[in-house]
Chains A and B, each alone.
Chain A
Amino acid sequence: AQSVSQHNHHVILSEAASLELGCNYSYGGTVNLFWYVQYPGQHLQLLLKYFSGDPLVKGIKGFEAEFIKSKFSFNLRKPSVQWSDTAEYFCAVNARASYDKVIFGPGTSLSVIP
């Protein structure tokens, strides 16, 4: 069965610090990969996604993620965080053989201190 792990449960950073949130998945086949974000009091929304092509994917608000197939990883990065990046971040994986069943990781809570 597919599973998704996220390295950190809670991350605290100061503004302007660099961010990297780890995500690993377990599935041997072809996958689609997502990062979703949930700002306080708001809906989950898509941050970025990888389906194929360039393994370095750029998303909204200056976020990017790199798919490393050999490591089964899809880490999220941002060079300089802002207070407004405070949110819950979820990595998600879909095995292309299982249509739209997306498996979510447990989430990482990011707190950015002004």
Chain B
Amino acid sequence: DAEITQSPRHKITETGRQVTLACHQTWNHNNMFWYRQDLGHGLRLIHYSYGVQDTNKGEVSDGYSVSRSNTEDLPLTLESAASSQTSVYFCASSESRTSDTQYFGPGTRLTVL
């Protein structure tokens, strides 16, 4: 069955370190998204991609970057981790650009000390 996976599932890091969260989908979807989930804010869009070599900023993109070198993967990098980036991060994918259902990964819980 097609799926979307994230790794690691839990990560503890220190302020100032670079961290990369992996997202891999086997749906063969063109569209991929990164969200962060914080209490009281729901899910907020960090970055998204509509295809290989395409990346776009979401509403909370500062301090994060993504790259899309193939269809399956959209890694999220925190250039210099800050305590404010402690959160649960979800990756998602969807098939079409006419806003189809998004399929979510299991999430990565990141703690920045």
**Chain A residues proximal to chain B, CB less than 8 Å:** 4, 9, 32, 34, 36, 42-46, 49, 90, 94, 96, 99-107
Contact = CB atoms under 8 A, between A and B. Distances in A.
A101 B42 contact: no
Interface of B: 31, 33, 35, 40-45, 48, 50, 58, 90, 92, 94, 96-102, 104-107
Contact of A43 (B43, B96, B98, B107): B107
Contacts, number: 54
If over half of A's interface residues share one DSSP class (helix, strand or loop), that class is named, otherwise mixed; here it is strand
A42 B107 CA distance: 9
A43 B99 contact: no
B99 A96 contact: yes
Contacts of A100: 31, 33, 48, 50, 94, 96-100, 102
Given A99-B98, A100-B31, A106 B104 contact: no
Most buried by A among B40, B50, B97, B101: B101
A106 B31 contact: no
A104 B48 CA distance: 15
Contact of A104 (B43, B50, B97, B106): B43
18 contacts: A9-B40, A34-B101, A42-B106, A43-B106, A44-B90, A44-B92, A44-B104, A45-B104, A46-B102, A90-B42, A96-B99, A100-B50, A100-B96, A100-B99, A100-B100, A101-B48, A102-B45, A107-B42
A58 B43 CA distance: 24
